[in-house]
Chain A
Amino acid sequence: MLRPHRRHALWVAFLLHRISGLGLAIFLPVHFLVLGLALEDSETMDRLLLWSDSVLVKLAEFGLVFLLAVHLFGGLRLLALEFLPWSNRQKTFAALALAGSFLLACLFLIRAV
């Protein structure tokens, strides 16, 4: 539960950016490990690819794409905040980043299933 002074849109945007960053930091080593199997153990790699076709994994990948997109758009939002002249539409930018990420993740899911 967020403490009362943190219950506003842009603090939640910060939280989402931090969680997505941590999520990706955990995912990336696993991702590279699996890619490395293509060179070292192609049979296990094939089994993993078959397993990744299941619906549950696709749903998890939807979450992953969402995290990736929300971190990308959130990062662009922060760069704009810090390096472009100030705009009072900060909440709108955060909402756009969230909506864009969700859209991208949905497009991935539609193509994947």
Chain B
Amino acid sequence: MSVWRGDANAGELQHFQVPQQENQTILDLVTWIQRETEPGLAYRFSCRVGMCGSCAMMINGIPRWACRTHVQKVVQGNQVTIEPLRNMPVIRDLVCDMSEFFAKWKQAEGQFRGGKSRYDAVEQLKPDTPKRRAANAAIECINCGICYSACDVVSWNKSYLGPAALNRAWSLLNDERDQHSLLRLKAVASDAGCHNCHSHQSCTQYCPNELNPTGAIAGLKRMAAVAALRGDI
């Protein structure tokens, strides 16, 4: 197993011999290395079951979640190469600085802004309206950063908000309770927004939760076009 070691300035691949077992995940191997041979190895994980989104890394050049990636499925000639996620500054070894990723989430107005208080009755929502279905389809993002790391437009244009932030904005724009639609639409239709997307669809290809950020971004483009024609934005 080759593991990238280094910091924000420089680094290189370090090679380890690891035991091969059945039903072994990449996270198992990284943990084995840290516990048995290299205690200084830095990496992130938490839930180990694909819920928290903290263990994402480049596995043989493809962004994946380490905890749900079986070694058998990705091993190439008895060898696996592990590197930190692309498109994010490295802090150390496999740990990236995700500040910018989350800052863009805020920049895309990714915060729910309801119009009711605790004294109002709970709003009744029909689960089968087209807008609610669109909101639900995009809502299960765990912010692992895999789509952001897979996206070449993020590499080419550092200000681009990226698939996760835009997917979140799409979910909220379809949420009938949210009161901030126009502000959000302006944010996602800006220079850094949805119109940058080249529809490579790597985000959709690699999303571990099988979400469809490309579809969400296409929806935002349509929504922004209609709003622009109406003179709203």
Binding site for B on A (CB under 8 A): 3-6, 8, 10-11, 14, 78, 81-83, 86, 90
Contact = CB atoms under 8 A, between A and B. Distances in A.
B76 to A, nearest CB: 10
B202 A5 contact: yes
- The main secondary structure of chain B at its interface with chain A is helix
B80 to A, nearest CB: 12
B198 interface: yes
B89 interface: no
Interface stretch (B24-32, B55-63, B179-187): B55-63
B144 to A, nearest CB: 15
A11 to B, nearest CB: 5
**In the complex, which of the residues A5, A82, A83 has the most CB atoms of chain B within 10 Å of its own CB atom?**
A5
Contact of B201 (A3, A4, A82, A90): A90
A82 to B, nearest CB: 5
A56 to B, nearest CB: 35
Q: How large is the interface on B (under 10, 10 to 19, 20 to 34, 35 or more residues)?
A: 20 to 34
A10 B218 contact: no
Contacts, number: 45
Contacts of B60: 4
A45 to B, nearest CB: 40
A88 to B, nearest CB: 8
Contacts of A8: 201-202, 205
A10 B205 contact: yes
Interface of B: 60-63, 86, 150, 152, 198-202, 205-206, 212, 214-215, 218-219, 221-222, 225
B215 A10 contact: no
Contact of A86 (B86, B150, B215): B215
B219 to A, nearest CB: 7
A77 to B, nearest CB: 9
Nearest to A11: B200
Given A81-B218, A82-B222, A86-B218, A5 B201 contact: no
B199 A78 contact: yes
A11 B218 contact: no
Given A82-B199, A86-B219, 6 more contacts: A5-B63, A8-B205, A81-B199, A82-B218, A83-B222, A86-B218
Nearest to A94: B201
Contacts of A86: 212, 215, 218-219
Contacts of B198: 14
A5 B150 contact: yes
Nearest to B206: A5
B61 A10 contact: no
A33 B232 CA distance: 45
Contact of B199 (A4, A5, A10): A10
A78 B200 CA distance: 11
29 contacts: A3-B61, A4-B61, A5-B62, A5-B63, A5-B150, A5-B202, A5-B206, A6-B152, A8-B201, A8-B202, A8-B205, A10-B200, A10-B201, A11-B200, A11-B201, A11-B205, A14-B198, A14-B200, A78-B199, A81-B218, A82-B199, A82-B221, A82-B222, A83-B222, A83-B225, A86-B212, A86-B215, A86-B218, A90-B201
